[in-house]
Amino acid sequence: MAETASMAETAAIGAPRAAYPLDALALGARSIEAARLTALGPAARLAFRGREAAIQAAGEAFGVALPREANRRHTADGRHALWLGPDEWMLLAPGADPAPLFAAIEAATAGLPHALVDVSARSVTIEVAGPKAAYVLNQGNPLDLSIEAFPVGSATRTLFHKAEIVLSRIAPDIFHVDVWRSFAPYVWQMLEDGRRELA
């Protein structure tokens, strides 16, 4: 699942090299099959807020209908729309350049009451995968992560130890943890600590 900082993006930008807070930590990760940790590559992340009138237009422009059911994630063509609140969604496009996406959604929702903010750089995503993924997450997260209570397609803003995260279940044994940059090393190290007993 890991995508390294895409060559295309680096080339387009020119000289400056992108650097992410987990670059070094991810290199030193232990190989523990019961709960694998991966720092996922960059993604376009757009925070969308809006009134009823703007919701459908935003979803159409993004290419994923925005879920209206609480704590759900909709996926289409590798893009995800996460319900985070009654008027709040996170639009996720792994590997994509945020600028054209932003422009397209802004164009489609022009004149409709909404707010679109590019937060692509605000967070990074960690994948926790393996039969003990939920167990490791439950060391710092108080939710019931059983498949019945938190099925595939669930997404929620929640906590991992003392950091705020957005948690999504991608597959029965695969979770994505979206965390603000400066909290990412803390979350990573807490995940490492949590899965240490499974080595």
Partner 1 sequence: MTNRFRTHSGGRIDRGAPVSFRFDGKTYSGFKGDTLASALIANGVHLVGRSFKYHRPRGFISAGSDEPNALVNVARDAARMSPNLRATQVELYEGLKASSQNRWPSLGFDAGAANDFVSPFLPAGFYYKTFMWPAGAWKRFYEPKIRAMAGLGVAPTLPDPDRYTQNYAYCDVLVVGAGPAGLAAALAAAAGGAKVWLVDEQAELGGSLLAERTATIEGKPAQQWLADTLATLAAMDNVTLLPRTTAFAYFPHNMIALAERVTEHLAAPGADLPRERLWQLRAREVVLATGALERPLVFPDNDRPGVLLADSARTYLNRYGAKPGDRAVIFTACDAGYRTALDLAAGGVAVVAVADLRREVHGELPARALAAGIDVRPATVVTGTTGRLRVSGARLAKIKGGPSVDPVGASETIACDTVLMSGGFTPSVHLFSQSRGKLAWDAASGAYLPGTSVERERSAGACRGITGLQRVLEDGYGQGEAAAKASRDAASPARGATPPPGPSAKTFPAQADDLGTDGFIGATPHARNPAFTKAFVDWQNDVTAKDITLATREGFRSIEHVKRYTTTGMATDQGKTSNMNTLGIVAEALGESVPKIGLTTFRPPFTPTTFGLFAGAARGDQFDPVRKTAIHDWAAEHGAAFEDVSLWKRAWYFPKALPDGRREDLHAAVGRECKAVRSSVGMFDASTLGKIEVVGPDAAEFMNRMYTNAWAKLEPGRLRYGVMLREDGFVMDDGVVGRMAPDRFHVTTTTGGAPRVLAHMEDYLQTEWPDLDVWLTSTTEQWAVIAVQGPKAREVLAPLIEGIDLAKEAFPHMSVREGTILGVPTRLFSVSFTGELGFEVNVPAQYGRAVWEAIFAAGERFGITPYGTETMHVLRAEKGYIIVGQETDGTQVPDDVNLGWAVGKAKKDFVGKRSLARAAMSAPDRKQLVGLRTTDPKLVLEEGAQIVADPKAPVPVPMLGFVTSSYYSAVLGHSIALAVVKGGRARIGTRLSVPMPDRVIEVEIVEPVFYDPKGDRLNG
Residues lying near partner 1 in the complex (CB under 8 A): 5, 12-21, 42, 47, 49-51, 87-88, 99, 113-123, 135, 138-144, 146, 149, 161-163, 180-183, 185-187, 189-190, 193-194, 196-197, 199
Which residues fall within 8 angstroms of residue 44, CB to CB, at 6 or more apart?
91, 92, 93, 94, 96, 97, 98, 101, 102, 118, 120
The nearest distance, CB 71 to partner 1, in angstroms, is: 17
> Residue type at 138?
N
What's the number of CA atoms in the CB half-sphere (13 Å) around residue 161?
15
Give the nearer residue to partner 1 in terms of CB position, either 27 or 77: 27
Nearer to partner 1, 26 or 119 (CB): 119
Q: How far is the CB of 86 from partner 1 (least distance, A)?
A: 11
Q: Which is nearer to partner 1, 76 or 181 (CB)?
A: 181
Q: Please enumerate in sequence order all residues whose Cβ is within 8 A of that of 99, keeping only pairs 6 or more positions apart, or say none.
A: 118
Q: Which two tokens stand for residue 35?
A: 């709960």
For the CB of residue 140, give the shortest distance to partner 1 in the complex, in Å. Answer: 8
